[in-house]
Amino acid sequence: MKDTKKFLMAAVMATGLALSACAPSAGTAAPAESGSTKAAEPVNVGIIYSKTGPLAAYGATYYEGLQAGIDHATGGTGAVNGAKINLTYADDGGDPDKAVTAAKDLIGKGYKIIGGTVVSGIALKLAEQAAQNKVLYISGPAATDAIQGINKYTFRSGRQSLQDVATAGSFIDTKGKKVVVFAQDNAFGQGNVAAVKAVLGAKGATVEAVLVPDGQELTPFARQLIDAKPDMVFVAWAGATSGTMWQTLSQQGAFDAAPIVTGLGDAATFGAYGEATSKISFLNHYFPGASGSDVEKKMIAAVEKAGKKADLFTPDGFVAGQMIVQAIKEGGSDADAMVKALEGFSFDGPKGKETVRASDHALVQDMYQVKLVQAGGSWAPELIKVVPGDTVAPPEKK
């Protein structure tokens, strides 16, 4: 996260499907007939996310946020129009093939709603399954721009790379400057490169990239970055290797070569920047307390009541819960009706007012400029500026 994308992003139980006690086929959210004591048939929702794997920490916060979001949106009942929402979880482990197998299993059992994943490559595969099988898919923290407008059945509950990059562009004027993207060589990193070219390139920047394959020694790539003589470096990195990456850039002198902008990741990364901390400009998707809204306060309270702490991708799970409830409330178990229920949906989320753009399903939301400050012997984020969602909304796809 990453993301930077994140940017640092810095996206989230046991192998296979962990099934909840639920009916084997998807039901309808229609209320019971008047005068009848028969309860509405349960609605089954499949959530595919990283309980294990390199982005398991992100998956955990998504999961925690989802529980809070469903509870909030249903007023604590866990039901919509009298129909109980039964959540079935599958661990993708960061593996696209595993995720697709889980999706096919769930869809084969009649599930009409699929959600989740923090992995961009997996989100693309699940979007394909949604289109082929005509089921609703609500992606989680996966930031790839490629799922924006990919098909009528695919939505997202988090932000995307274009929003990160547009927020990065709010720090400095990049016209006529060379911007080098330092990122992982995967769908997430490649998506960030494309986003920087689309946003900052359109504003007159020359954009180059240094992409690092998984498992490679970082030092040669840090030297490659410095040799490119950038005017600004945009770092897009996620996962457990974030600390090593920052240490390598610092040791090789990258912070002396050019200003570096990146996304502030989850709390585990706050201490990962070392002596470079004060030199980095951070864009941010979310940190606890960023918006100060009533909904955010309720989300934080719910997560803490469950013995956890809100973090970078907690809102993505919470918003997924809100979107799932809205889809069922207005669309029952009919996928096309659920799509219509979400297109143009505007609601109060943890980050404030959020809107699902009807034309391409981009989720328009506020972003943040932040800095890390010393607090009680450790680092903590401090808000510099709220960047309004409409000013960093992705270019519209039609």
pLDDT digits (tens, 9 = 90+) for 115-162: 999 999 999 999 999 999 999 999 999 999 999 999 999 999 999 989
Q: Alpha-carbon distance 326 to 342, whole Å?
A: 7
Q: Alpha-carbon distance 180 to 208, whole Å?
A: 5
Q: Are 109 and 24 in contact (CB under 8 A)?
A: yes
pLDDT of residue 238: 81
Q: Which two tokens stand for residue 253?
A: 């002198």
Q: Is the pLDDT of residue 387 over 60?
A: yes
pLDDT of residue 219: 97
Q: Are 235 and 282 in contact (CB under 8 A)?
A: no
Q: Alpha-carbon distance 243 to 266, whole Å?
A: 12
**For residue 111, what is the DSSP state?**
-
Q: Is the pLDDT of residue 9 over 60?
A: no
The maximal CA–CA distance of the chain, rounded, in angstroms, is 76
* Residue 219 lies in domain: 163-284
pLDDT of residue 361: 98
**For residue 67, what is the DSSP state?**
H
Q: Is the pLDDT of residue 222 over 70?
A: yes
Average pLDDT estimate for 383-395 = 95
Q: Which of residues 217 and 274 earns the better pLDDT score?
A: 217
pLDDT of residue 272: 81
Each residue of 234-258: pLDDT tens digit? 999 887 788 889 889 999 999 999 9
On whether residue 302 sits in a domain, the answer given is no
pLDDT of residue 275: 76
| Number of domain units in the chain | 1
Q: Which two tokens stand for residue 300?
A: 């934080």
pLDDT of residue 170: 85
Each residue of 53-63: pLDDT tens digit? 999 999 999 99
Give Cβ neighbours of residue 202 (< 8 Å, ≥ 6 apart).
none
Q: Alpha-carbon distance 232 to 261, whole Å?
A: 7
Identify the burial level of 200 via C-beta atoms within 10 angstroms of its C-beta, where 0-12 means exposed, 13-18 middle and 19 or more buried: buried
On whether residue 276 sits in a domain, the answer given is yes
Mean of per-residue pLDDT scores for the chain:
89
Q: Are 263 and 164 in contact (CB under 8 A)?
A: yes
Q: How far apart are the first and last CA of the chain?
A: 27
pLDDT of residue 245: 92
Average pLDDT estimate for 28-57 = 75
Q: Is the pLDDT of residue 69 over 50?
A: yes
pLDDT of residue 33: 39
On whether residue 290 sits in a domain, the answer given is no
Query: Percentage of residues in the chain with pLDDT exceeding 70?
Result: 90
Each residue of 170-216: pLDDT tens digit? 887 888 999 999 999 998 899 889 989 999 999 899 999 999 998 89
The helix (H) or strand (E) run that includes residue 102 is helix 96-108
On whether residue 269 sits in a domain, the answer given is yes
Q: Alpha-carbon distance 289 to 296, whole Å?
A: 8
On whether residue 246 sits in a domain, the answer given is yes
Instruction: Please state the pTM of the whole predicted model.
Output: 0.83
Q: How are strands ordered across the β-sheet holding 352-356?
A: 346-349, 352-356, 363-364
On whether residue 48 sits in a domain, the answer given is no
Q: Is the pLDDT of residue 22 over 60?
A: no
Query: Percentage of residues in the chain with pLDDT exceeding 90?
Result: 75
C-alpha 191: how far from chain center: 13
Give the 3-state secondary structure of residue 264. Answer: coil
pLDDT of residue 39: 64
Domain of residue 230, CATH code: 3.40.50.2300
On whether residue 266 sits in a domain, the answer given is yes
Angstrom distances, CA of residue 52 to CA of 48, 90, 117, 246, 360: 11, 10, 11, 24, 31
Q: Are 57 and 11 in contact (CB under 8 A)?
A: no
On whether residue 54 sits in a domain, the answer given is no
Q: Which of residues 22 and 353 earns the better pLDDT score?
A: 353
